[in-house]
Amino acid sequence: MPVTAVVAVAVAAGLDRLVAEPPARIHPVALFGRLVAPIDREWEHPTAVGALAALALPALAAGIVAGATWGATLASPWAGSVVAALALFSTTSRRMLLDATETVVSATATDLDRARTDLRALAGRDPASLSPGAIRSAAVESAAENLADGLVAPLLAFSLVAPGSLPLAVGAAAWVKGVNTLDSMLGYRYKPVGRVPARLDDAVMWLPARLSAVLLALVAGAPGVLTRVGSLARRPASPNSGWPMATLAVLLETRLEKPDHYLLDGGPEFPDAETAARGVRLVSRAGLAAFAVAGVIAWF
């Protein structure tokens, strides 16, 4: 079982590098989003509906993925490994969002209107009045946060369960991705139906967010910065997203800010294009390290 799990991690990492994402029309996360969409409306008892969705929908996704992997393993352990790799690839995201971040950062120097338009796919804020530096800040923040949400969290769930059961491991990764997707679609203060999904996501992301901060510090060769991150990391309203973002702000010695929400002053100025590009490279290396660590944990 450990060997097939490690192969699944390696193949998923390779697919991320070569393909970036499955086609949108068949992407399992997009299909899951279609299940969530009908819940995104007003209800007479929104908290109860949100709680039911938080319990049922990620569990459904996990069950389907685990069942498909288990069925494949009945034919061959390697067939199970292939299905697991495809499932893990679908629940993780690294290259596509980093490519999008690089595009935004580059455009701030040549085509500000394009940078503002492209930023909408990365960050939930109105870019119309943002300066080039503030746009780069938002892009770098998004890359750091996605490291935890889109990669470390599902990989951690997979690797912790993989030594015991490959089907359950990919089911765990799918469950985490389902929880995160529910939160991204429903977990806003103005949506009462998203209250329970948001709290569940807070609990699930507690460890991955902090591990993401550790990975960033390690790949930068500066683990000592973690002693300076804690106070900054608590400034965002989220109990988790501040950790990778604050770590990157300190490593880059730059200012990351969401106006009227938080200021992560690792330095006095917004990142210039070169600094933002360096931040993207750090996130990319931390993501590769996350794949490597997941493979090691899965082996044992």
Residues 6+ away with beta carbon under 8 Å from 188: 194, 198
| Cα(4)–Cα(295) distance, integer angstroms | 10
> What is the per-residue pLDDT for 166?
96
> What is the per-residue pLDDT for 107?
95
Q: Exposed, middle or buried: residue 2 (CB in 10 Å: 0-12, 13-18, 19+)?
A: middle
Domain that residue 25 falls in: 2-299
Among candidate residues 89, 202, 197, 204, the one with its CA nearest the CA of residue 153? 204
CA 78 to each of CA 16, 84, 195, 283, 298: distance values in angstroms, whole numbers, following the listed order: 20, 10, 41, 31, 16
For residue range 266-282, what is the model confidence (pLDDT) as tens digits? 999 999 999 999 999 99
For residue range 101-138, what is the model confidence (pLDDT) as tens digits? 999 999 999 999 999 999 998 887 888 889 999 999 99
Lookup: tokens for 137:
């800040």
> What is the per-residue pLDDT for 24?
81
**Is the predicted pLDDT of residue 296 greater than 70, yes or no?**
yes
Half-sphere exposure (CA, 13 Å, Cβ side) for 202? 12
Q: Tell me, yes or no, if the pTM score tops 0.85.
A: yes
The number of folded domains in the chain is: 1
For residue range 67-99, what is the model confidence (pLDDT) as tens digits? 999 999 999 999 999 999 999 999 999 999 999
| Cα(274)–Cα(1) distance, integer angstroms | 44
